Chains A and B, each alone.
Chain A
Amino acid sequence: MLASALARCRAEAVTGVLRVAGNAGGLFHLRDGAVVAVDSPGSPGAETLLVGSGRVGAEDWVAALVDSVGTRSLQAALAARGIVGPAEAQALALAAVRDGAFAVAAGQVECCDVVDDVADGPPLPVAGGVDVDGLLSETARRLDAVASLAVPLSPYRDRVVPGRAAAGLTPERREIVAHATGRRNVRDLAFAVGRGLYPVTVEISRMLGEGVLEFASPVASFSFSHGDLATLRPRSEPSGAGRPG
Chain B
Amino acid sequence: MDYDALVAELRQLRENVAGVTDTVIAASDGIPIISDVAKSVDPAHISALAAADLGIARQAAEVMGLGTLSQTVVFGSKGYMAVYAIGRLSLMVALGDKGLNLGRLLHESRPAIERIGSILAP
Residues of A within 8 A of B (CB): 23-25, 40-45, 47-48, 52, 58, 62, 107, 156-157, 181, 183-184, 187-188, 191-192, 222-227, 229-233, 235-236, 241
State the interface size on chain B (CB cutoff 8 A): 37
Contact indicator A229/B1 (Cβ below 8 Å): yes
B8 to chain A, nearest CB (A): 10
Q: Of A24, A183, A224, A233, which one neighbours B18 at CB under 8 angstroms?
A: A24
Asked if B38 is at the interface of the complex by the 8 Å CB criterion, the answer is: yes
Asked if B53 is at the interface of the complex by the 8 Å CB criterion, the answer is: no
Contact indicator B39/A41 (Cβ below 8 Å): no
Beyond A41-B19, A226-B6, A229-B33, 18 additional pairs, beta carbon < 8 A: A23-B17, A23-B18, A41-B100, A44-B98, A47-B98, A48-B98, A48-B99, A183-B38, A187-B18, A187-B99, A223-B36, A223-B38, A224-B3, A227-B31, A229-B1, A232-B89, A233-B89, A236-B27
User: Which residues of chain B have C-beta atoms less than 8 A from A191's C-beta?
Assistant: 19, 97-99
User: Which residues of chain A have C-beta atoms less than 8 A from B15's C-beta?
Assistant: 157
A94 to chain B, nearest CB (A): 19
Give complex CA distance A191, B97 in Å: 8
If the complex has contacts A183-B38, A222-B11, are A41 and B104 also in contact, measured as CB distance less than 8 A? yes
Give complex CA distance A64, B121 in Å: 50
Give complex CA distance A8, B3 in Å: 48
User: Which residues of chain B have C-beta atoms less than 8 A from A48's C-beta?
Assistant: 98-99
Give complex CA distance A63, B100 in Å: 24
Give complex CA distance A159, B6 in Å: 22
Residues of B within 8 A of A (CB): 1, 3, 6-7, 10-11, 14-19, 21, 27-29, 31-39, 43, 77, 89-90, 97-101, 104, 120-121
Selected A-B contacts with CB under 8 Å, 25 pairs? A23-B16, A23-B17, A23-B101, A25-B101, A40-B99, A41-B101, A42-B18, A187-B99, A188-B97, A191-B19, A191-B97, A192-B97, A223-B39, A224-B3, A224-B36, A225-B43, A226-B1, A226-B32, A226-B35, A229-B31, A231-B1, A232-B33, A235-B31, A236-B28, A236-B90
B58 to chain A, nearest CB (A): 14
Give complex CA distance A22, B15 in Å: 12
